[in-house]
Amino acid sequence: MILTIDIGNSDTVLGIYENNKMVDHWRVSTDQKKTVDEYGILFNNLFSFDNVKTNQIEGIIISSVVPQVVQVLEVTSIQYLNLKPMVVGPGIKTGMNIKMEDPREVGADRIVNAIGGYQRFGGPLIIVDFGTATTFDYISSKGDYEGGAISPGIGVSTDALFNMASKLPRVELKKPDNAIGKNTVEATQSGIFYGFIGQVEKLIKKFQEEIEVNPKIVATGGYSELIGSKTEAIEYIAPFLTLDGLNYLAQINDLKKVSKKWRLQENK
Protein backbone atom coordinates (compact mmCIF):
# COMPACT_ATOMS: atom_id res chain seq x y z
CA MET A 1 0.00 0.00 0.00
CA ILE A 2 1.10 3.57 -0.76
CA LEU A 3 0.03 6.51 1.41
CA THR A 4 -0.34 9.72 -0.61
CA ILE A 5 -0.65 13.07 1.16
CA ASP A 6 -1.51 16.41 -0.45
CA ILE A 7 -1.04 19.31 1.98
CA GLY A 8 -2.98 22.39 0.89
CA ASN A 9 -3.38 25.73 2.61
CA SER A 10 -6.88 24.84 3.83
CA ASP A 11 -7.19 21.06 3.64
CA THR A 12 -4.91 18.05 3.71
CA VAL A 13 -6.10 15.10 1.62
CA LEU A 14 -4.80 11.59 2.21
CA GLY A 15 -5.28 8.51 0.06
CA ILE A 16 -4.32 4.85 0.24
CA TYR A 17 -3.45 3.13 -3.04
CA GLU A 18 -3.16 -0.60 -3.54
CA ASN A 19 -2.24 -2.03 -6.95
CA ASN A 20 -2.56 1.51 -8.37
CA LYS A 21 -6.18 1.84 -7.20
CA MET A 22 -7.40 4.16 -4.47
CA VAL A 23 -8.91 2.06 -1.70
CA ASP A 24 -9.41 4.76 0.93
CA HIS A 25 -9.23 8.52 1.36
CA TRP A 26 -9.69 11.23 3.98
CA ARG A 27 -9.85 15.04 4.05
CA VAL A 28 -8.79 16.95 7.18
CA SER A 29 -8.06 20.60 7.95
CA THR A 30 -4.46 21.71 7.50
CA ASP A 31 -3.22 22.81 10.89
CA GLN A 32 0.25 24.31 11.22
CA LYS A 33 0.01 24.15 15.01
CA LYS A 34 -0.38 20.37 15.23
CA THR A 35 2.57 18.54 16.77
CA VAL A 36 4.19 15.31 15.62
CA ASP A 37 2.28 13.36 18.26
CA GLU A 38 -1.04 14.98 17.34
CA TYR A 39 -0.56 14.03 13.70
CA GLY A 40 0.48 10.55 14.80
CA ILE A 41 -2.76 10.15 16.76
CA LEU A 42 -4.73 11.50 13.79
CA PHE A 43 -3.14 8.94 11.45
CA ASN A 44 -3.81 6.09 13.85
CA ASN A 45 -7.44 7.13 14.31
CA LEU A 46 -8.07 7.43 10.58
CA PHE A 47 -6.40 4.11 9.80
CA SER A 48 -8.08 2.28 12.70
CA PHE A 49 -11.53 3.52 11.72
CA ASP A 50 -11.15 2.02 8.23
CA ASN A 51 -9.17 -1.06 9.32
CA VAL A 52 -5.94 0.00 7.62
CA LYS A 53 -2.93 -1.56 9.35
CA THR A 54 0.13 0.66 9.51
CA ASN A 55 2.47 -2.24 8.72
CA GLN A 56 0.72 -2.60 5.36
CA ILE A 57 1.94 0.82 4.22
CA GLU A 58 5.07 0.38 2.10
CA GLY A 59 5.76 3.98 1.19
CA ILE A 60 4.63 7.57 1.73
CA ILE A 61 4.72 10.42 -0.79
CA ILE A 62 3.84 14.03 -0.03
CA SER A 63 3.13 17.17 -2.04
CA SER A 64 2.72 20.42 -0.16
CA VAL A 65 2.37 24.18 -0.38
CA VAL A 66 2.85 24.51 3.39
CA PRO A 67 6.53 23.82 4.25
CA GLN A 68 5.99 23.89 8.04
CA VAL A 69 3.52 21.01 7.91
CA VAL A 70 5.80 18.94 5.66
CA GLN A 71 8.55 19.09 8.26
CA VAL A 72 6.18 17.86 10.98
CA LEU A 73 4.75 15.08 8.81
CA GLU A 74 8.22 13.87 7.86
CA VAL A 75 9.01 13.29 11.52
CA THR A 76 5.54 11.83 12.14
CA SER A 77 6.02 9.33 9.31
CA ILE A 78 9.35 8.20 10.69
CA GLN A 79 8.24 7.92 14.30
CA TYR A 80 4.78 6.46 13.81
CA LEU A 81 5.01 4.57 10.50
CA ASN A 82 8.73 3.74 10.38
CA LEU A 83 8.94 5.22 6.89
CA LYS A 84 10.75 8.24 5.49
CA PRO A 85 8.36 10.01 3.08
CA MET A 86 9.28 11.08 -0.42
CA VAL A 87 8.50 14.79 -0.82
CA VAL A 88 7.73 16.21 -4.28
CA GLY A 89 10.39 18.76 -5.17
CA PRO A 90 13.86 19.01 -6.70
CA GLY A 91 15.36 15.60 -7.38
CA ILE A 92 12.03 13.85 -7.94
CA LYS A 93 11.56 12.30 -11.36
CA THR A 94 8.32 13.68 -12.90
CA GLY A 95 8.55 12.84 -16.58
CA MET A 96 7.06 16.26 -17.36
CA ASN A 97 8.73 19.27 -18.96
CA ILE A 98 7.83 22.44 -17.01
CA LYS A 99 7.87 25.22 -19.63
CA MET A 100 7.83 28.19 -17.26
CA GLU A 101 10.30 31.08 -16.90
CA ASP A 102 11.16 29.70 -13.46
CA PRO A 103 9.84 26.15 -12.91
CA ARG A 104 10.55 26.48 -9.17
CA GLU A 105 7.69 28.98 -8.89
CA VAL A 106 5.07 26.39 -9.77
CA GLY A 107 3.41 24.83 -6.72
CA ALA A 108 3.93 21.12 -6.18
CA ASP A 109 0.17 20.56 -6.19
CA ARG A 110 -0.19 22.06 -9.68
CA ILE A 111 2.61 19.91 -11.08
CA VAL A 112 1.20 16.77 -9.48
CA ASN A 113 -2.27 17.66 -10.81
CA ALA A 114 -0.79 18.04 -14.28
CA ILE A 115 0.95 14.67 -14.05
CA GLY A 116 -2.14 12.91 -12.74
CA GLY A 117 -4.35 14.55 -15.34
CA TYR A 118 -2.08 13.76 -18.27
CA GLN A 119 -1.65 10.13 -17.20
CA ARG A 120 -5.42 9.70 -16.91
CA PHE A 121 -6.80 11.84 -19.73
CA GLY A 122 -3.89 12.55 -22.06
CA GLY A 123 -3.43 15.96 -23.66
CA PRO A 124 -4.05 18.67 -24.55
CA LEU A 125 -5.69 19.30 -21.22
CA ILE A 126 -6.91 22.15 -19.02
CA ILE A 127 -7.17 21.38 -15.29
CA VAL A 128 -9.26 23.59 -13.01
CA ASP A 129 -8.45 23.00 -9.34
CA PHE A 130 -10.97 24.40 -6.86
CA GLY A 131 -8.85 24.81 -3.73
CA THR A 132 -7.81 27.71 -1.51
CA ALA A 133 -6.96 29.32 -4.83
CA THR A 134 -8.73 28.36 -8.04
CA THR A 135 -5.97 27.41 -10.46
CA PHE A 136 -6.10 26.80 -14.21
CA ASP A 137 -3.30 24.80 -15.81
CA TYR A 138 -2.65 23.88 -19.43
CA ILE A 139 -0.86 20.68 -20.44
CA SER A 140 0.01 20.22 -24.11
CA SER A 141 -0.57 17.17 -26.28
CA LYS A 142 3.11 16.27 -25.68
CA GLY A 143 2.58 16.30 -21.91
CA ASP A 144 4.42 19.58 -21.30
CA TYR A 145 3.24 21.88 -18.53
CA GLU A 146 2.74 25.18 -20.38
CA GLY A 147 1.47 27.51 -17.63
CA GLY A 148 -1.82 28.71 -16.27
CA ALA A 149 -3.73 31.19 -14.13
CA ILE A 150 -4.36 31.68 -10.40
CA SER A 151 -7.42 33.34 -8.90
CA PRO A 152 -8.87 33.60 -5.37
CA GLY A 153 -10.65 30.43 -4.32
CA ILE A 154 -14.31 30.15 -3.41
CA GLY A 155 -13.65 29.79 0.33
CA VAL A 156 -11.19 32.70 0.46
CA SER A 157 -13.51 34.99 -1.51
CA THR A 158 -16.63 34.20 0.48
CA ASP A 159 -14.79 34.53 3.81
CA ALA A 160 -13.57 37.97 2.75
CA LEU A 161 -17.09 38.97 1.74
CA PHE A 162 -18.68 37.89 5.01
CA ASN A 163 -15.88 39.34 7.14
CA MET A 164 -15.87 42.73 5.44
CA ALA A 165 -19.64 43.12 4.97
CA SER A 166 -20.92 42.90 8.52
CA LYS A 167 -24.61 42.89 7.56
CA LEU A 168 -24.30 39.95 5.20
CA PRO A 169 -25.08 36.60 6.86
CA ARG A 170 -22.97 33.54 6.12
CA VAL A 171 -24.85 31.32 3.73
CA GLU A 172 -24.63 27.72 2.61
CA LEU A 173 -22.69 27.48 -0.62
CA LYS A 174 -25.07 25.79 -3.05
CA LYS A 175 -26.79 26.29 -6.40
CA PRO A 176 -29.71 28.72 -5.92
CA ASP A 177 -33.11 28.12 -7.52
CA ASN A 178 -32.89 31.41 -9.45
CA ALA A 179 -30.20 33.88 -10.44
CA ILE A 180 -32.40 36.76 -9.28
CA GLY A 181 -32.57 36.29 -5.52
CA LYS A 182 -35.68 37.38 -3.64
CA ASN A 183 -33.85 37.80 -0.32
CA THR A 184 -30.31 38.44 0.91
CA VAL A 185 -29.46 34.74 1.30
CA GLU A 186 -30.62 33.86 -2.23
CA ALA A 187 -28.91 36.92 -3.70
CA THR A 188 -25.61 36.04 -2.00
CA GLN A 189 -25.80 32.41 -3.10
CA SER A 190 -26.52 33.50 -6.67
CA GLY A 191 -23.61 35.93 -6.78
CA ILE A 192 -21.15 33.41 -5.39
CA PHE A 193 -22.32 30.40 -7.39
CA TYR A 194 -22.90 31.97 -10.81
CA GLY A 195 -20.02 34.38 -10.32
CA PHE A 196 -17.55 31.54 -10.00
CA ILE A 197 -19.11 29.62 -12.87
CA GLY A 198 -18.72 32.75 -15.00
CA GLN A 199 -15.09 33.07 -13.98
CA VAL A 200 -14.38 29.44 -14.86
CA GLU A 201 -16.12 29.63 -18.23
CA LYS A 202 -14.41 32.90 -19.20
CA LEU A 203 -10.90 31.74 -18.32
CA ILE A 204 -11.37 28.41 -20.09
CA LYS A 205 -12.56 30.30 -23.17
CA LYS A 206 -9.52 32.61 -23.06
CA PHE A 207 -7.19 29.60 -22.73
CA GLN A 208 -8.83 27.95 -25.75
CA GLU A 209 -8.45 31.12 -27.82
CA GLU A 210 -4.73 31.30 -27.05
CA ILE A 211 -3.83 27.64 -27.57
CA GLU A 212 -6.02 27.14 -30.66
CA VAL A 213 -6.68 23.49 -29.91
CA ASN A 214 -9.59 21.62 -28.39
CA PRO A 215 -8.36 20.41 -24.98
CA LYS A 216 -10.16 18.19 -22.51
CA ILE A 217 -11.37 20.15 -19.48
CA VAL A 218 -11.06 18.53 -16.04
CA ALA A 219 -12.13 19.84 -12.63
CA THR A 220 -10.56 18.71 -9.38
CA GLY A 221 -10.37 19.87 -5.76
CA GLY A 222 -12.82 20.35 -2.93
CA TYR A 223 -15.46 22.32 -4.84
CA SER A 224 -15.11 20.47 -8.14
CA GLU A 225 -18.39 18.57 -7.75
CA LEU A 226 -20.38 21.68 -6.79
CA ILE A 227 -19.13 24.01 -9.50
CA GLY A 228 -17.84 21.63 -12.15
CA SER A 229 -21.07 19.67 -12.41
CA LYS A 230 -23.11 22.82 -13.12
CA THR A 231 -21.28 24.11 -16.17
CA GLU A 232 -20.93 22.60 -19.63
CA ALA A 233 -17.39 24.01 -19.81
CA ILE A 234 -16.20 21.17 -17.55
CA GLU A 235 -16.12 17.75 -19.22
CA TYR A 236 -14.70 15.57 -16.44
CA ILE A 237 -14.66 15.74 -12.66
CA ALA A 238 -11.79 14.02 -10.86
CA PRO A 239 -11.77 15.11 -7.19
CA PHE A 240 -8.60 13.18 -6.32
CA LEU A 241 -6.42 14.02 -9.31
CA THR A 242 -3.57 15.21 -7.07
CA LEU A 243 -3.48 11.91 -5.20
CA ASP A 244 -3.56 10.02 -8.51
CA GLY A 245 -0.56 12.06 -9.62
CA LEU A 246 1.27 11.30 -6.38
CA ASN A 247 0.62 7.60 -6.81
CA TYR A 248 2.04 7.75 -10.35
CA LEU A 249 5.14 9.55 -9.07
CA ALA A 250 5.53 6.86 -6.41
CA GLN A 251 5.68 4.25 -9.17
CA ILE A 252 8.17 5.97 -11.48
CA ASN A 253 10.44 6.88 -8.53
CA ASP A 254 10.42 3.30 -7.12
CA LEU A 255 9.02 4.53 -3.80
CA LYS A 256 8.50 1.05 -2.34
CA LYS A 257 12.08 0.04 -3.13
CA VAL A 258 13.50 3.31 -1.76
CA SER A 259 11.39 3.04 1.40
CA LYS A 260 12.35 -0.59 1.99
CA LYS A 261 16.04 0.24 1.63
CA TRP A 262 15.74 3.15 4.09
CA ARG A 263 13.80 1.00 6.59
CA LEU A 264 16.41 -1.78 6.47
CA GLN A 265 19.25 0.71 7.07
CA GLU A 266 17.44 2.37 9.97
CA ASN A 267 16.55 -0.92 11.63
CA LYS A 268 20.08 -2.39 11.55
List the catalytic residue out of 37, 50, 102, 109: 109
| 244 noted as active-site residue | no
**CB-side neighbour CA atoms (13 Å) of 5:** 26
133-139 and 236-237 strand pairing:
unpaired
Q: In what order do the strands lie in the sheet containing 133-139?
A: 145-152, 133-139, 125-130, 216-221, 236-237
Separation CA 115–CA 145 (nearest Å): 9
Q: Residue 221: helix, strand or coil by DSSP?
A: strand
Separation CA 59–CA 85 (nearest Å): 7
- Spatial contact of 207 and 189, defined as CB atoms under 8 Å apart: no
- Exposure string for 208-243, b = 16+ CB within 10 A, e = fewer: beeeeeebbbbbbbbbbebbbeebebbebbbbbbbb
Separation CA 94–CA 170 (nearest Å): 42
- Spatial contact of 130 and 220, defined as CB atoms under 8 Å apart: yes
Residues annotated as catalytic are: 109
